[in-house]
Amino acid sequence: MTDFMQSPWVQRIVFVLGGIVLGYLVERLVIGRAHKLAVSSRFKWDDLIVESIRGLPTVWLSSAGAYFALNVGVAPPLVMSSVQGILMALVIGSVAVGGMRLAGGAVEVLSTSTQGAIRSPTLVVSLAKAAVGVLGVFIILGNLGIEIAPLITAFGIGGLAVALALQDTLGNLFAGVQIILSRQVRPRDYVQLSSGEEGWVTDVKGRNTTIQTFPDGNLVVVPNSLLASSIVKNFSFPRSALWVSLDVGVSYDSDLKHVERVTLEVATEVLEEIDGGMPGEKPVVFFNAFGASSIDFQVRMMVREFRSQGPIRHEFIKRLHRRFGEEGIEIPFPIRTVVMKSQGDD
């Protein structure tokens, strides 16, 4: 039994299996417990750190076991150097994976803390991960003894051909970066394009921007290059509140001061009682035209956001119609006078 345990191959197997088992135990006992504690806390960064290193201790401890196994007995120099290079690349690669998770999560955490709980666009998160991933690849190549400068030169020359082949894709990518950096169209903004599409921006990705329409909730996919070159009306920027305008007409026999007072009372009541109204902003009434059968005026009310227009309009029309009926204010029907000539007039 002693001779069996002293065998180099047995010791190597023990080291490798020991590293795997130890990594599994650390993952289940330490990382699992840390994850539960992080979820129960209000602090976001501890959740991010725990999620970033999930699965990595198993890789690290397994690599350590393989490294110790490699040093048991005498191994051929070529085998030893090759395995050590692989283990080093594996460890650095796992660190790079953790860094990519950490970078992407950090971008999301920072964006929610500075933009009012708005997640950062997918494109920003992807670029942050890609930057860390490229850095990790360069470090791995450097540790393997591969010259990086010639590779960068080769990639630069080959990049011209790739850029021509992927012209549309790269155009959408740079347009997406432009959209994000301009900060004029952000996730959760309600926008209307010059082509007619409108809705809430849900995400900005590498190739396209997704918009959820209202009220049907369908998803519209707009290429970033098209969005960047379109005329865009943003109902949420610089603020989400907006004016709702309604056109009303009353009879020529009406007392206009009375009409104005009643209309403002109803509008103020609606803004105070209906969710979505802005009670602090007073409604306004403008008489603007002598119509064919009525004196026309416009009512303007401030609502909290774009989706608040419907409920405010709905309730205001109902209440104004009822109140006009109680006050004896007539909303006239359209009147058209038709003159008919008799045969004797010819």
> Which one, of 15, 107, 112, 122, lies nearest residue 52 by Cα?
107
At 116 the pLDDT is: 42
pLDDT category of residue 285 using cuts at 50, 70 and 90: very high
Q: Per-residue pLDDT for 297 more than 90?
A: yes
Residue range 239-267: mean pLDDT, rounded: 91
Q: What average pLDDT score do residues 53-81 get?
A: 78
pLDDT number for residue 163: 53
The answer to whether residues 267 and 275 touch, using CB atoms and an 8 Å cutoff, is no
The pLDDT value recorded for residue 161 is 56
Helix ranges (H only) for the chain are 2-5, 8-25, 32-40, 44-53, 56-70, 77-114, 122-143, 148-165, 167-182, 224-229, 256-273, 309-327
Which CATH number describes the domain made up of 170-234?
2.30.30.60
pLDDT in tens, 263-279: 999 999 999 998 888 88
The CA distance from 54 to 52, in Å, is: 6
Is 92's pLDDT higher than 80? yes
**pLDDT per position as a tens digit, 112-145:** 654 444 456 677 777 788 888 888 887 777 777 7
Mean pLDDT score, 290-302: 92
**Is the confidence at residue 107, as pLDDT, over 70?**
yes
Whole-angstrom distance, CA of residue 31 vs CA of residue 98: 14
List the domain boundaries for the chain: 2-167, 170-234, 242-327
**How much is the mean pLDDT over the chain?**
80
Q: Name the phi and psi angles at 160, rounded to 5.
A: -65, -45
- At residue 303, the pLDDT reads 92
- The CATH-assigned architecture of domain 242-327 is 2-Layer Sandwich (3.30)
Would you state the pLDDT for residue 301? Answer: 93
Predicted local distance difference test score (pLDDT) of residue 58? 83
Does residue 344 surpass a pLDDT of 60? no
- Condensed to tens digits (0 to 9), the pLDDT of residues 313-334 reads 999 999 999 999 999 999 888 7
Task: Yes or no: say if 173 and 224 are a contact pair by the CB < 8 Å rule.
Answer: yes
Question: What is the pLDDT at residue 162?
Answer: 56
* CB contact at 8 A, 206 and 172: yes
Report the pLDDT value the prediction gives residue 178, as an integer from 0 to 100.
78
Name 221's bridge partners: 210
Question: 68 pLDDT exceeds 70?
Answer: yes
